[in-house]
């Protein structure tokens, strides 16, 4: 409850015990929470909710069912002013503050000042964005990381770069590309600004707000949803014209045994480039003749996956050229594997999302067609061809799980729990990256990106990874080229919080 005695709903509550023991819960509409199977012992209870505040109770002896009352103090306040924007853009700016206890956002007044009450304490990342009307362009200030005391206040001024302008024209297949979305995303942690713009009817774009550094430049055709990616090194203001040609991919999907065409089969295309955005994926369906067409595809290497209920998926590596390609995909009947996801404490079915990778680290199944949720009964049927795979399982309110699977096999039960938390303290004064590997050497948490990594905030900030399934892990500090420069072992307990330094 608040200091005024009002209940706080949707607050995150955690019990911290010795040896990493603990549990977590979320309060209901009356501010109440319940933790099951919490082992007897002495605990510290903490509660937080973005925009409300934080609270804790120290040294609570837990022996049986009992009441724990946590009073939440008002959150911290972050305030400051925006530098580098013309006054007419203040109304378009919005400030974000994110920390371990949540995040808050707020607007900017006509004088360029902002104030964020109820902000999280601890290590907080603060930045601002400016979006034009209709979101045709976006640019961000450089991020600032500050240490904020509980209930305290911190002055954080945010500066927008306005001295670098990048202009150019986008031409596809010899014709200017109108109404395309251009996104400049930094390739290095040392560069922390990004910006977007849109092309006019002649394919011309102009953006400001980026600093010097190397960027991934992504072009999205807003009419046909066909993306293209390239890179650009910003060295002051300049002109960057983007010209590329595309090909058309045609093919058919047939039954491998009978040769009969398969209607309503799904064919997905994913760029083979490591770290490619999920926005660069696309899918088409076959018609009554088993045929499909995917036009305006940028040349390059793709992983092509075809699937249909009652059949095992077919996965191919394909290179698309400007002249286009034709291929035939053959599907064999097969049961694949069914995963049953349940709550590890109660045994009840849990709707889950599942990504599957083959031995070549290619995505062979993703839940993109399920619109962010799993099946209600917790069963997910994976149409996998015979072979070995790894799967990443995710469900709301639970820690993700990696597992190895063999197809075909009887139904497999995956038990999910809320998991624990890893807090990483950096020994370095600059932004770095790290990766987490589980006991099987699989990258964690692993979804549509097969080799994920995390930003490590510079000292004295703390970077939190949560929720994490109980188990043993290796935390790897990454250097240039994703090379491992340091590593430490980590053991996570259910409901516990473990701190590591690297």
Quote the pTM value.
Answer: 0.63
Query: Contact at 8 Å (CB) between 146 and 114?
Result: no
Question: How is the chain split into domains, by residue range?
Answer: 12-66, 76-159, 165-244, 247-331, 337-416, 420-501
DSSP conformational letter for 407? E
pLDDT category of residue 460 using cuts at 50, 70 and 90: confident
User: What's the CA gap between 278 and 296, in Å, rounded?
Assistant: 17
Q: What is the model's pLDDT at position 20?
A: 56
Superfamily of domain 420-501: Immunoglobulins (2.60.40.10)
Q: According to the 3-state scheme, what is the secondary structure of 255-294?
A: ECCCCCECCCCEEEEEECCCCCCHHHCEEEECCCCCEEEE
Average pLDDT, the chain: 85
Pick left, alpha or beta for residue 322 (phi over 0 → left; psi -120 to 50 → alpha; otherwise beta): alpha
User: What's the CA gap between 227 and 222, in Å, rounded?
Assistant: 9
Query: Contact at 8 Å (CB) between 308 and 382?
Result: no
How many C-beta neighbours within 10 Å does residue 287 have?
A: 14
State both tokens at 303. Answer: 């992983």
State which of 35-39, 41-45, 333-337 shows the largest mean pLDDT. Answer: 333-337
Whats the size of the chain, residue-wise?
502
| pLDDT digits 0-9 by tens, 56-83 | 787 787 876 678 888 877 678 999 999 9
DSSP conformational letter for 458? P
Task: Please tell me which residue, 460 or 437, carries the higher pLDDT value.
Answer: 437
Q: Judge: domain 76-159, CATH 2.60.40.1120.
A: yes
Name the CATH code of domain 337-416 (choices 3.30.413.10, 1.10.3300.10, 2.60.40.1120, 3.40.50.261).
2.60.40.1120
Whether the pLDDT of residue 316 is over 90: the answer is no
Sheet holding 73-74, edge to edge: 22-26, 12-17, 41-49, 53-62, 73-74
Q: What is the model's pLDDT at position 370?
A: 41
With CA atoms as reference, report the closest residue to 328 among 282, 363, 289. 289
Whether the pLDDT of residue 281 is over 80: the answer is no
User: What's the CA gap between 245 and 340, in Å, rounded?
Assistant: 45
The distance of Cα 234 from the centroid of its chain, to the nearest Å, equals 26
With CA atoms as reference, report the closest residue to 39 among 494, 500, 501. 494
User: What's the CA gap between 238 and 169, in Å, rounded?
Assistant: 12
Query: Contact at 8 Å (CB) between 156 and 81?
Result: no
**What is the radius of gyration, based on Cα positions, of the chain?**
25
CATH architecture of 247-331: Sandwich (2.60)
Q: What is the model's pLDDT at position 373?
A: 41
| pLDDT digits 0-9 by tens, 237-279 | 999 999 998 888 899 999 999 999 999 999 988 877 654 555 5
| pLDDT digits 0-9 by tens, 359-378 | 888 888 877 644 334 455 66
Buried b (16+ CB within 10 A) or exposed e, 106-115: bebeeebebe
Q: What is the model's pLDDT at position 188?
A: 77
| pLDDT digits 0-9 by tens, 487-502 | 999 999 998 889 999 9
Q: What is the model's pLDDT at position 169?
A: 97
Phi, psi (deg, nearest 5) at residue 358: -90, -175
283-287, 480-484, 496-500: least confidently modelled range: 480-484
Over range 440-457, report the average pLDDT: 79
Dihedral angle at the C-alpha atoms of 10, 16, 19, 22, nearest 10 degrees?
-40
Whether the pLDDT of residue 44 is over 90: the answer is no
User: What's the CA gap between 50 and 479, in Å, rounded?
Assistant: 33
User: What's the CA gap between 87 and 79, in Å, rounded?
Assistant: 18
Over range 318-324, report the average pLDDT: 84
State both tokens at 93. Answer: 């700016």
Same fold, 76-159 and 165-244: yes
CATH number of 165-244: 2.60.40.10
| pLDDT digits 0-9 by tens, 104-149 | 889 999 999 999 987 887 788 899 999 886 667 889 998 888 888 8
Q: What is the model's pLDDT at position 6?
A: 80
Residue with the two structure tokens 């955690």: 14
Q: What is the model's pLDDT at position 113?
A: 96
Q: What is the model's pLDDT at position 449?
A: 60
State which of 100-104, 106-110, 303-307 shows the largest mean pLDDT. Answer: 106-110
The distance of Cα 16 from the centroid of its chain, to the nearest Å, equals 27
């Amino acid at each position: 409850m608040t200091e005024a005695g009002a209940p706080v709903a949707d607050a995150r509550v955690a019990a911290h015990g010795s040896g990493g023991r603990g549990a977590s819960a979320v309060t209901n509409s009356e501010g109440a929470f319940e933790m099951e199977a919490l082992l007897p012992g002495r605990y510290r209870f903490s509660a937080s909710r973005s925009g409300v505040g934080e609270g804790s109770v120290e040294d609570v002896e837990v022996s049986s069912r009992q009441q724990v009352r946590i009073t939440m103090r008002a959150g911290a306040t972050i305030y400051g002013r925006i530098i580098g924007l013309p006054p007419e853009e203040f109304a378009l700016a919005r400030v974000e503050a994110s920390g371990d206890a949540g995040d808050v956002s707020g607007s900017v007044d006509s004088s360029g000042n902002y104030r964020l009450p109820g902000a999280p304490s601890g290590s907080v990342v603060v930045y601002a964005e400016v979006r034009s009307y209709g979101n045709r362009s976006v640019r961000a200030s450089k991020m600032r990381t500050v240490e904020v005391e509980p209930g305290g206040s911190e002055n954080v001024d945010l500066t927008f770069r306005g001295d670098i302008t990048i202009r150019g024209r986008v031409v596809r297949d010899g014709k200017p590309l109108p109404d395309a979305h251009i996104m400049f995303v930094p390739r290095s942690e040392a560069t922390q600004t990004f910006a977007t713009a849109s092309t006019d009817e002649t394919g011309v774009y102009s953006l400001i707000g980026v600093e010097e550094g190397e960027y991934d430049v992504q072009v999205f055709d807003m009419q046909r949803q066909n993306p293209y990616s390239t890179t650009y090194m910003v060295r002051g203001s300049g002109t960057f014209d983007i010209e590329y040609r595309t090909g058309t991919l045609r093919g058919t999907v047939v039954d491998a045994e009978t040769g009969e065409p398969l209607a309503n089969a799904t064919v997905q295309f994913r760029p083979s480039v490591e770290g490619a955005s999920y926005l660069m994926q696309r899918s088409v369906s076959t018609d009554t003749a088993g045929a499909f067409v995917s036009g305006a595809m940028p040349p390059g290497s793709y992983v092509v996956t075809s699937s249909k209920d009652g059949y095992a998926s077919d996965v191919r590596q394909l290179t698309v050229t400007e002249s286009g390609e034709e291929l035939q995909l053959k599907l064999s009947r097969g049961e694949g594997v069914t995963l049953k996801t349940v709550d590890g404490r109660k045994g009840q079915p849990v709707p889950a999302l599942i990504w599957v990778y083959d031995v070549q680290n290619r995505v062979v199944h993703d839940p993109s067609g399920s619109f962010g949720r799993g099946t209600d009964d917790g069963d997910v049927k994976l149409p996998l061809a015979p072979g070995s795979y790894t799967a990443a399982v995710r469900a709301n309110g639970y820690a993700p799980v990696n597992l190895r699977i063999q197809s075909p096999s009887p139904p497999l039960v995956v038990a999910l729990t809320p998991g624990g938390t890893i807090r990483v303290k950096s020994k370095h004064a600059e932004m770095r990256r790290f990766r987490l590997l589980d006991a099987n050497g699989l990258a964690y948490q692993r979804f549509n990106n097969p080799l994920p990594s995390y930003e490590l905030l510079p000292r004295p900030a703390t970077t939190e990874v949560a929720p994490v399934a109980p188990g043993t892990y290796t935390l790897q500090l990454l250097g240039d080229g994703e090379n491992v420069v340091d590593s430490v072992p980590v053991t996570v307990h259910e409901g516990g919080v473990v701190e590591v330094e690297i």
